[in-house]
Structure 1
Amino acid sequence: MWLLFSLLASVSFGLRGIFYHWTSQQPLSRNALLCGTFFMGALVSLTCAILIERQWNASAWIGVQMGLFSFAANASMFQGFKVGKASVVAIITALPAVLVAIGALAIWGESLDAPQLAAFLVIILGVLLVRYSNEITLRNLQGAQWGLLALAMFACNDLSSKWTQLEEAPLFATLFLMFLTGTLCFGTWRWIERRRERMPRQEAAVASHEAAAGHSSHREVERSATEGTVAPPVPWPDRRAFLVGMAIGITNAVGMVLIMTAFDLGKAGLVSAVVASNVLFVLAYTRFYVRERFTKLETTGVLTTLAGILLLKLLGG
């Protein structure tokens, strides 16, 4: 059953990835979007906790740790995309399952037998092939440090999820604390971001006032210099980005419920590896909707990942 829940979590996170891909093309604040995503998760989790879970215990506070890890992972990943090559960051952040498997072995003695290890390696290889880019060289690793930090934080989040199941923490109460922590972190970050944005606007307003007081010849020069330029897209208001984030938050909340259930039933490394295959759904989206063609490596990666999942199924997953 763990394989079924892992695959369903992969589908849910794949849908989330598709929405993230679409919103990345829009002029919006990523922090406002993710604040809405985590807020919806907190709202859904709190509702389920009130209706379903009668008792909360101290182990639910592990959710705060999960929220901090999730925030740090997303912040590091997006910073890596900002300062470096997306392909480098994408490959590095595709490997949390490796650290999860090592961590689970070191902390709980959770080892994989030979067939499971083979299937694990096949899935990881497939995901890497999908993420691989011929643009990557040893001299072109900008953003790698942020990718490594994101990798570590994603792995810690998965290990924390496994820990909650071993401690028999209430599922929805834990998720509520996780999503609430993420909401507060991204909301605070957006608040700081908006304060920084106000300074250039104030300086621009002063400069515009001074320019208006200048000679008309100066204005003519400015008009001629700006003729033919394309106006930048109008940024989305934070309210709109927040509401879109709330819609995405439904897929994120469902995915977290499924992956934590999978961690309860299966081995952490294998669950994390199967869930990493959610990149295949994003790839399918770019192929059939965005009309991007698969490269040979991407096609090979898709087939390799599916072969690894099939191998797990044949092994009794």
Structure 2
Amino acid sequence: MWFVFAAAAATCFGMRGILYQWTSQRPLDRNLLLFGVYLSGTIIALASNVFAGQAWNNGAMIGLLMGGFSFIANASMYKGYAVGKASLIALFTGLPPVVVVIVAYLLWGETLNPWQIVSFAVVILGLLLIKYSQDLKLGQLKGIQWGVLTMLFFGMTDLTSKQATLSGASTLPLLSVMYGTGAVLFGTQWAISQYRTSKKVAGSAVAETEGSVSSAASTATAPAPVQWSRGKTLGWGLFVGISNIAGMIFLIPAFRGGVTGIVSAISAMNVVFVLLYARFYLKESMSRREVLGLSTALIGILLLRLLA
């Protein structure tokens, strides 16, 4: 049954990745959007537990760490989609198993068999092919850097999720703490950014009042895209958050019943959905080396799933 849960989590996370990529190209406040995503998760988890009645215990407090790691991972993934190729960022969202299996071996003695070592070698080869592709530009390299952060901290989120199940944490209380933590972090970041923006606007207004009348040429700039309102941004974040919390609701039981690295690898197959979206909907072109690198890395993930 854990395999079905892991596959369902991969589907939900694939939808989340597509929604993140689409949203990253819209004129809205990223921090307010992600605050909405985590607020949605908090509300859904708490409301669901009113009916499920799952017990709260000390293990649920591991959700504080999960929320912090997920905060960094989601912020990095969203930033990566905004500055880099969707297909490349999606690849890194599929690589947390590399982190998970290695750390799980160190923490819990989950051994690496020869097939796992081969799988990791194939994944790393794919990454090297992508990194040294001659077609990558500076903006795409920045996207890769955000992708690496995404990989590391989604891996840490998976590891703390497993630790929570070992500590006997119930799914919904754990996710309530996790998403509540993320909501506080993104809400705080949004409030800070609003404060800084208001100070900057006030400073600009004073400078304009004290200065001479601006020339017509200086004001003749191209109109900026209309910024989404706060209500629209928050509402969209609440909607996107449904795919996020749904994925975690499936993932926690999968970790409870399955081997950490294998569950992480199966859930990481969400990359396939975003890659298909990038190729056929966004019409992203790829160089031969990028295609080879992506294919090689995906083969490595498949080997992890089938042979680990």
Q: How does 1:1-317 map to 2 (within 5 A)?
A: 1-76=1-76, 90=89, 95-119=95-119, 122=122, 133-135=133-135, 150-210=150-210, 214=212, 218=213, 222-227=215-220, 229-297=221-289, 299-300=291-292, 303-304=295-296, 307=299
Question: Structure 1 pair 112/145, CA: closer, same or farther in 2 (3 Å)?
Answer: same
Distance between the aligned counterparts of 2:177 and 2:232, measured in 1? 25
Under a length normalisation based on structure 2, what TM-score does the superposition of the two structures give? Answer: 0.83
Task: State the 1:208 CA deviation.
Answer: 3.5
Distance between the aligned counterparts of 2:5 and 2:165, measured in 1? 15
Distance between the aligned counterparts of 2:133 and 2:249, measured in 1? 32
Question: Structure 1 pair 295/162, CA: closer, same or farther in 2 (3 Å)?
Answer: same
Task: State the 1:144 CA deviation.
Answer: 7.6
Question: Structure 1 pair 280/124, CA: closer, same or farther in 2 (3 Å)?
Answer: farther
Letter of the structure 2 residue corresponding to residue 261 of structure 1: P
Task: State the 1:158 CA deviation.
Answer: 1.1
Question: Structure 1 pair 143/308, CA: closer, same or farther in 2 (3 Å)?
Answer: closer
Distance between the aligned counterparts of 2:295 and 2:81, measured in 1? 27
Please give the per-residue CA displacement for 1:18-55, whole angstroms capped at 9, x wherever unaligned: 11111111111111000000011111111121211342
Question: Structure 1 pair 170/131, CA: closer, same or farther in 2 (3 Å)?
Answer: farther
Give SS of 1:154's match. Answer: helix
Letter of the structure 1 residue corresponding to residue 273 of structure 2: F
Letter of the structure 2 residue corresponding to residue 156 of structure 1: M
Percent identity among equivalent residues?
42
Please give the per-residue CA displacement for 1:79-123, whole angstroms capped at 9, x wherever unaligned: 7788x8779x94766543222111111111111333354456556
Distance between the aligned counterparts of 1:85 and 1:292, measured in 2? 11
Distance between the aligned counterparts of 1:26 and 1:184, measured in 2? 24
Distance between the aligned counterparts of 1:131 and 1:181, measured in 2? 34
The 8 Å contact of residues 280 and 302 in structure 1, kept in 2 or not, is answered as no
Give SS of 2:169's match. Answer: coil
Gaps of 5+ in 1: none
Larger radius of gyration: 1
Distance between the aligned counterparts of 2:71 and 2:167, measured in 1? 23
Task: State the 1:191 CA deviation.
Answer: 0.3
Give SS of 2:227's match. Answer: coil
Provide the aligned length of Structure 1 versus Structure 2. Answer: 306
Gaps of 5+ in 2: none
User: 288-297 or 99-108: which moved more?
Assistant: 288-297
Under a length normalisation based on structure 1, what TM-score does the superposition of the two structures give? Answer: 0.81
The 8 Å contact of residues 38 and 179 in structure 2, kept in 1 or not, is answered as yes
Distance between the aligned counterparts of 2:255 and 2:23, measured in 1? 30
Letter of the structure 2 residue corresponding to residue 27 of structure 1: P
Please give the per-residue CA displacement for 1:163-215, whole angstroms capped at 9, x wherever unaligned: 1111221101100110001001100110011000001211222234345xx5x
Question: Structure 1 pair 244/13, CA: closer, same or farther in 2 (3 Å)?
Answer: same
Letter of the structure 1 residue corresponding to residue 166 of structure 2: L
